[in-house]
């Protein structure tokens, strides 16, 4: 019996006319974890020796927040929902969800580049510092996607899969909860491997944490593939959009009724 997505109210708390959304709370959690882990990281001997301070951490958080929010939202608009340009006010409703990881990632890279230029620090040293602080924030964002019933995966091949889930906003077919997969693998698992690795000093002239993060992510995507995502890496994940997966459901039922094999269009 497949699980049913609970479809919770996207608003976590009502404070009079102010509605605080779960999605927004996940971003607050991500930023809080960045600060908490960063305070631990600047006390590591090899990091302290480079002159990192709490003020640096606070400044980087500010630039990172701007990068995540502005880049993530603009990425969502230009990569996935260009129709928002017809109603520009929707672009500012970030609490409703819809933040592109790729746009947010680029936004953070640009934000850190601006901060590094302002503080006259080597950009790769900055990336090396923040690399182990990012995965748990990513995991929090994916939990926000799950709460909002976003990123439904492909229909499961085995209906008896214990964690197969029906998304009422998409269709009646049980699917992979792809947001949970990404939270566990790309977020929590990457952090659990990367954080201990980041405790040691870099080799002279090396940025060991950045290199390790890139190699680890590439390794995990080969050894621990996300079965719910299909082959969408490097291009817009059209098969994750509700209208696209619902169309697949319709064609699946139609082909079954005619006794024909079904192959997703994506």
What would the pLDDT profile of 222-258 be if each residue is shown by its tens digit?
A: 556 565 654 333 333 334 444 444 444 444 443 444 3
DSSP letter string over 186-221? Answer: IIIIHHHHHHHHTTSPPPTT--HHHHHHHHHHHHHH
H helix or E strand, kind and range, residue 14: strand 11-15
Q: Using 50, 70 and 90 to split pLDDT, how confident is the model at 121?
A: very high
Q: Given CA atoms 116, 120, 124, 125 in this order, what sign does their dihedral have?
A: negative
What would the pLDDT profile of 203-215 be if each residue is shown by its tens digit?
A: 544 556 776 676 6
The pLDDT score that the predictor gives to residue 1 is: 82
| pTM of the complete model | 0.78
| Strand arrangement, sheet containing 174-175 | 3-4, 165-166, 174-175
The pLDDT score that the predictor gives to residue 5 is: 95
């Amino acid at each position: 019996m497949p699980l049913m997505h609970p479809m919770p109210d996207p608003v976590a708390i009502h404070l009079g006319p102010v509605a605080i959304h779960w999605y927004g709370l996940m971003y607050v959690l991500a930023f809080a974890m960045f600060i908490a882990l960063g305070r631990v990281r600047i006390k590591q001997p090899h990091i302290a020796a480079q002159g990192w301070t709490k003020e640096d951490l606070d400044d980087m958080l500010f630039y990172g927040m701007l990068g995540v929010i502005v880049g993530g939202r603009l990425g969502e608009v230009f990569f996935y929902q260009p129709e928002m340009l017809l109603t520009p006010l929707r672009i500012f409703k970030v609490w409703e969800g819809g933040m592109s990881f790729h746009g947010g990632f680029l936004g953070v890279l640009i934000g850190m580049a601006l901060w590094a230029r302002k503080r006259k620090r080597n950009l790769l040293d900055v990336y090396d510092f923040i690399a182990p602080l990012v995965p748990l924030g990513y995991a929090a964002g994916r939990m926000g996607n799950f709460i909002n019933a976003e990123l439904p995966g492909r229909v499961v091949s085995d209906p008896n899969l214990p964690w197969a889930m029906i998304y009422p906003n998409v269709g009646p077919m049980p699917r992979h909860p792809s947001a949970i997969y990404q939270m566990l693998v790309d977020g929590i698992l990457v952090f659990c491997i990367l954080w201990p690795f980041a405790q040691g000093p870099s080799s002279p002239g090396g940025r060991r944490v950045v290199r390790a993060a890139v190699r680890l992510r590439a390794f995990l995507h080969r050894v621990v593939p996300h079965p719910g995502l299909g082959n969408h890496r490097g291009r817009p994940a059209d098969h994750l959009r509700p209208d696209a997966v619902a169309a697949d459901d319709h064609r699946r039922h139609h082909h079954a009724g005619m006794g024909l094999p079904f192959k997703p269009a994506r």
